[in-house]
Amino acid sequence: MTSTTTASKHTPITTRNTATSAIRPGPTPEIIRIDKPADCSPQRPGYGPAPEGVDNIWHFYESPAIHSIVKAAQIPSGYIQAFGLEEASYLGSDYLGHYELESYDPLNCSMRCDEYGQIGGQPGGQKESCRGINIYFERSPSLHLGPECRDAPSRNVIKCALWGEKLHAKYAKNRGFSNWDFEVIIAGSNGYNKGVLMEENRTSAGAKKTVFGGSLMEMGAAVLLVWCLMLGMTGAL
């Protein structure tokens, strides 16, 4: 497994040792372990709501602050919601990478999806298409865990994952993993698909325009024919 991280705000982080890429859709979601030795140094801060009361997985799942933020989130223009308030992130076959955001903002996430493949620098120089996004809160350790620090206080990371495929609610199955003695879990997971309604409306509008245009042409021809006939009759008189 490899891991590649870039500081550019325009290029998503692609991590191949995460549960997202390690698990594929199946009948039973599994919890995997990632015990990668580290030096106990601090992680970057998370921007999601801090734990209320006891810092454990149950308070994270039931956080009123998380639920309030997710319920108030607006659906980005040009997108349709695939699922909401799930306790798992999406698992698919065309993962494009993710960003860590400073706020739970589906519009910000959708803009990054719209940018993907338009700015170059993608692997192989190919301009891939982002078709869906998954934004969620992730309970993560505040330290780089290892044998000398198997557990740590949590941080709440807001992630925006980009997908090159249409998202389906039944594949929101990545419930997290165990990192040494720390349980990484997901809450407030919303999924959105790009351009579904817009494409349908565009096709429908195009069909109506063609029919309407054809009707006008037919009416014009009929009027011209009648006018010519009337001129002929007038000349005969």
At 183-204, the pLDDT tens digits run 999 999 999 999 855 444 444 4
Same domain? 80 vs 102:
yes
| pLDDT cut 70: percent of the chain above it | 62
At 69, the pLDDT band (50, 70, 90 cuts) reads: very high
Element (H, E) at 231: helix 196-236
Distance in angstroms (rounded) separating the CA atoms of residues 98 and 113: 10
Residue with structure tokens 């309407």?
Answer: 212
Per-residue tokens: 125:
């120089």
Per-residue tokens: 139:
């309970």
Same domain? 44 vs 90:
yes
pTM of whole model > 0.85?
no
Of the ranges 17-21, 130-134, 172-176, 228-232, which one carries the lowest mean pLDDT score?
A: 17-21
Strand bridging mode 154-163 / 79-86: unpaired
CB-based contact 169:82 (threshold 8 Å): yes
Same domain? 185 vs 202:
no
Q: How confident is the prediction for the chain on average, in pLDDT?
A: 77
Distance in angstroms (rounded) separating the CA atoms of residues 110 and 177: 26
Q: Report the 10 Å Cβ neighbour count for 156.
A: 22
Residue with structure tokens 């009361």?
Answer: 53
In this predicted model, what pLDDT tens digit does every residue of 16-28 receive, in sequence order?
333 333 333 333 3
Mean pLDDT along residues 94-113: 97
Smallest CA-to-CA distance from 195 within 119, 124, 141, 114 is with 114
User: HSE of 7 in the Cβ direction (CA atoms, 13 Å)?
Assistant: 1
The identity of residue 99, as a single letter, is Y
Of the ranges 103-107, 109-113, 220-224, which one carries the lowest mean pLDDT score?
A: 220-224
Same domain? 101 vs 215:
no
- Of residues 220 and 8, more confidently modeled: 220
Last residue within a domain, chosen from 162, 177, 194 = 194
Same domain? 185 vs 203:
no
Asked if pLDDT for residue 112 goes beyond 80, the answer is yes
At 5, the pLDDT band (50, 70, 90 cuts) reads: very low
Per-residue tokens: 215:
């009707």
Same domain? 187 vs 203:
no
Q: Report the 10 Å Cβ neighbour count for 67.
A: 14
| pLDDT cut 90: percent of the chain above it | 59
164: alpha, beta or left? (left if phi > 0; alpha if psi -120 to 50): alpha
Number of H helices, E strands in the chain: 5, 11
Residue 53: what pLDDT?
A: 87
Same domain? 133 vs 218:
no
CB-based contact 108:162 (threshold 8 Å): no
The identity of residue 207, as a single letter, is A
Residue-range definition of the domain harbouring residue 225:
196-237
Same domain? 143 vs 79:
yes
In this predicted model, what pLDDT tens digit does every residue of 138-182 receive, in sequence order?
999 999 999 999 999 999 999 999 999 999 999 999 999 999 999
Same domain? 24 vs 140:
yes
Same domain? 10 vs 90:
yes
Distance in angstroms (rounded) separating the CA atoms of residues 177 and 81: 26
Residue 226: what pLDDT?
A: 54
> What domain count does the chain have?
2
Element (H, E) at 110: helix 106-115
Same domain? 141 vs 200:
no
Same domain? 178 vs 232:
no
Distance in angstroms (rounded) separating the CA atoms of residues 23 and 174: 7
